[in-house]
Amino acid sequence: MDFTFFFFFILTLLLWEVAVADNVSFDFPSFTLNNITLLGDSSLRNNGVVRLTNAAPTSSTGAVVYSQPVSLFHASFSTTFSFSIHNLNPTSSGDGLAFFLSPNTTLSLSGPLGLPTATGFVAIEFDTRLDARFDDPNENHVGFDVDSMKSLVTGDPILDGIDLKSGNTIAAWIDYNTQYTLLNVFLSYSRSSKPLLPLLSVKFDLSHHLRDPVYVGFSASTQGSIELHHIKNWTFHSKTITTTLHHPHNVSVVGISRSGATKKRDKRVVGIVAGSVSFFVAFTIFLGYVFVRRWKIGGRKEREKDKFQKSGFVAYPREFHYKELKSATREFHPSRIVGHGSFGTVYKAFFISSGTIAAVKRSRHSHEGKTEFLAELNTIAGLRHKNLVQLQGWCVEKGELLLVYDFMPNGSLDKMLYKEPERGKLLSWSHRQNIALGLASVLVYLHQECEQRVIHRDIKAGNILLDGNFNPRLGDFGLAKLMDHDKSPVSTLTAGTMGYLAPEYLQYGKATDKTDVFSYGVVVLEVACGRRPIEREGSKMLNLIDWVWGLHSEGKVIEAADKRLNGEFEEEEMRKLLILGLSCANPDSAERPSMRRVLQILNNEAAPLAVPKVKPTLTFSSDLPLPLTIEDIVSEADQESMCEIKID
């Protein structure tokens, strides 16, 4: 390393000054009328607590704001406050309260939460009402709002054991880092113990949205219920950071005749030089230590990678350390489990150093798990599509096999379709259309557009994840098979999930692009009907395909539409989706469309296919028995699934 270059590099760092401007800081351990403004029905109680709403059966709206506007352009801020929401009538609930940043203080007296009417506001809502108008997930959630009551991201306080309307005092921390454009929200029943992990984490650039300056404060409304909202204390700190780099020629040089001030500057220069030299020596020793250590560790890791290369693994995303993943998942705590797949258990992971959230898939510690691990890595490492779950990295340590993916906040499609209405929001018709379109798009990519054709083999609602905007992301490639475009598919062991498996796949165990099309058709029918592929009705099992086809044969296919949508859909579009699902789920693989044709139909670039009124039947030779038993075919995640297979 060149000493002169290193010296001036260190000198530059030492002369880098950080100037902080427009900082705002205030602390209200209890409230007085100094520096706050009460709006609407809010009032200051004798104990120094602000009550935002009245205890009246009619609607009440109120707010409290810091009297002076705050400049948050390219500024980080942190705020801590304690609040309580007391519901006096358990049979009803108000809207809760919100912390907001707004360019003005004109409240919406009739709107939920009493948030400002002007555009340009950002709010963290502590919502105690399930309002279908805003796609609320439940009546106890925290949400991130921008110009709308429809939260961009929500978090569930129950995961941390917190009931917002219990009447107990709840401490909240909201931290925004302008450098990483990351906003984190923490909740606890104790103000002295801030949780390590946030309840809500949002990556959003406030400087691109907020008009400068803004007012900061709290608002609440009751919407006709008797609910009391109290703010008990509040601290707020903001910091705008700008950097100024002083050129080296601004440093005075040593002369023959100097004033006292010049001598002081000269001493500082000498100190800087001496410090830089000392730092350089120490840094060189440190580099030597790190080099030797990494050389030893690197040799071991290269040997491990060689083993993977021999197994066919050719691409390397980021390699995570086991310790890092263990910490991010709270040592793989059961409370962090968000799902199960063919590969193993999926955990929600929060990386404190970067403030990011990911999903970590952990193997079942078996030879089969290792085989699936290698298959998934080898398959997805080179795939890029907006409707695929993005792989962030992997880890092989401590006998563990781990994959790290982007975290999908809305979970899997099956959980969204079938969870109880009071526990979450119902997928709208536009969301369902987008899911069918996005899934078709990614399957066209896998079948025809990527370098090697990919047959997924396990397309089902549980393997389709939804991002924050309910866009579909196909995941779980543990069962995928790669094949060259110019080669025929090879026979493999039958695997997958009952209800999604094509008849010829069950019979011969041969996976093709048409078996993926069949599974896609089942998912489309699920999305349109809101019913599982196989359901128990009394003592019998109902097959979704048979049920929809029966209605189609009677000319009443539209009656298969999900009743929970209450008719809020375009009837012709629903009919088209149902017919498309049937055409893809045709028992005769030769009659199924390609995924490209499916995509063209959805985009209105091709006419829908004709579907026979009577469902076609297939006959298999009795000389060709099923390759596996039902127990072998049904995936572990769907042990309760059942179906009937008839062999002529």
What are the backbone angles phi and psi of residue 240, rounded to the nearest 5°?
-95, 125
Give, as one character, the DSSP assignment of residue 557: G
CA dist 250 and 33 (Å) reads: 49
CA dist 307 and 529 (Å) reads: 47
Residue 246's Cβ-side half-sphere holds a number of Cα atoms within 13 Å equal to 13
Tell me which H or E stretch contains 470: none
Cβ atoms of 98 and 115 within 8 Å: the answer is yes
Tokens of 416: 């969204």
Tell me which H or E stretch contains 394: strand 391-397
Cβ atoms of 482 and 475 within 8 Å: the answer is no
What are the backbone angles phi and psi of residue 505, rounded to the nearest 5°?
-70, -40
CA dist 644 and 646 (Å) reads: 7
Cβ atoms of 544 and 521 within 8 Å: the answer is no
470 alpha-carbon distance from chain centroid:
10
Cβ atoms of 108 and 39 within 8 Å: the answer is no
Cβ atoms of 216 and 75 within 8 Å: the answer is no
Q: What are the distances in angstroms from CA 138 to CA 160, 168, 593? A: 16, 20, 40
In this structure, the chain runs to a length of: 648
CA dist 587 and 598 (Å) reads: 17
| Pairing verdict, β 318-319 and 391-397 | parallel
**Residues in binding site for ATP:** 361
Cα Dmax for the chain: 110
**Residues in binding site:** 361
Cβ atoms of 111 and 82 within 8 Å: the answer is no
Cβ atoms of 192 and 67 within 8 Å: the answer is no
Residue 299 has a CB neighbour count (10 Å cut-off) of: 9
What are the backbone angles phi and psi of residue 474, rounded to the nearest 5°?
-80, 130
Residue 514's Cβ-side half-sphere holds a number of Cα atoms within 13 Å equal to 17
| Pairing verdict, β 344-351 and 356-363 | antiparallel
CA dist 574 and 561 (Å) reads: 7
| Three-state secondary-structure class, residue 327 | helix
Peptide bond connecting 112 to the previous residue in cis, omega within 30 degrees of 0: no
| Pairing verdict, β 534-537 and 540-543 | antiparallel
Starting at the edge strand found earlier in the chain, the sheet holding 318-319 runs 318-319, 391-397, 400-406, 356-363, 344-351, 337-340
**Catalytic (active-site) positions:** 458
Q: Where are the alpha helices (DSSP H) in 316-366?
A: 322-328
Q: What are the distances in angstroms from CA 581 to CA 539, 606, 609? A: 27, 15, 10
Contacts of 548-557 spanning 24+ positions with Cβ under 8 A: 548/578, 548/581, 548/582, 549/582, 549/615, 552/578, 552/579, 552/582, 552/611, 552/613, 553/613, 553/614, 553/615
